[in-house]
Structure 1
């Protein structure tokens, strides 16, 4: 099997590894926030709050946390994609 990092500069390989780890951790933490509510995403959690199916507090704070984690993950994924484009030039 070919080593993915074999032809990359060490600093680029490190950046890719760190961004990949960040994306993973953000995803897992978001899933951990949503898991107690048995919902797939933030929109479903907000709907539960609005319908009164769950208490507003602390659920709304959990909703906000999940949104921040998801948004940050998307930003990190975009950075990872840009880094990969640059590495493949």
Structure 2
């Protein structure tokens, strides 16, 4: 089996690695914020705020942070998918 990165330019491989790490860090920080409030997702945290289950501050700031992290992670994942497609197109056929 041929190694995936064997025919990928160093710069592209480095970018893929950095994007992968960033996506991981964004996910972990997102999960940590939600875990702090025992929420499964941003919608659940917002509902907790609206029902008074958790104090509005700093929970609303945490909600906003979780939303930003999730949105940023989705952007990073889209970019990563594009780079992986490019790398696959540039891979020589056997």
TM-score, reference length from structure 1? 0.94
Which residue of the partner structure matches residue 7 of structure 2?
A: 7
Provide runs of 4+ in structure 1 moved above 4 Å.
none
Which residue of the partner structure matches residue 37 of structure 1?
A: 37
Structure 1, unaligned runs of 5 or more: none
Which residue of the partner structure matches residue 88 of structure 1?
A: 88
CA RMSD of aligned residues (A): 1.1
1:3-61 C-alpha deviation (Å, 9 max, x unpaired): 33222110110010000000000000001111111111000000000011000000000
Q: Secondary structure of 1:47's partner?
A: helix
Rg (Cα) greater in structure:
2
TM-score, reference length from structure 2? 0.90
Report how many residues are paired. Answer: 89
